[in-house]
Amino acid sequence: MIREIARMLVFGDLRLPDLSRKESIEMLSTVDQMVAYCFGRQDILDRAHNHFEQTIDELLSEGEVIWTRDPVAGVIAHNGRWYVWFRHVQDDGRIEGKLFACDDEMRVVSLVVEEIPWLEPDCRMKLLRALRAAHQTA
Q: Which residue has better confidence, 100 or 39?
A: 100
Please say whether the beta carbons of 74 and 84 come within 8 A.
yes
Between 94 and 30, where is the model more confident?
Answer: 94
Position 105, amino acid: E
Contact 37, 29 (CB under 8 A): no
pLDDT of residue 122: 93
SS3 (DSSP) at 86: strand
Question: If DSSP codes are grouped into helix, strand and coil, which group holds residue 119?
Answer: coil
Return the amino acid letter for 112. Answer: V
Has residue 123 got a pLDDT over 80? yes
pTM greater than the 0.85 cutoff:
no
Whether 44 shows a pLDDT value over 50: the answer reads yes
Most confident of 3-17, 92-106, 122-136: 122-136
- Average pLDDT value over all residues in the chain: 77
Output the pLDDT for position 75.
96
- What is the per-residue pLDDT across 95-106, written as a single tens digit (0 to 9) for each? 788 889 888 899
Give, in order, the Cα–Cα distances in Å from 49 to each of 7, 34, 43, 72. 15, 8, 13, 21
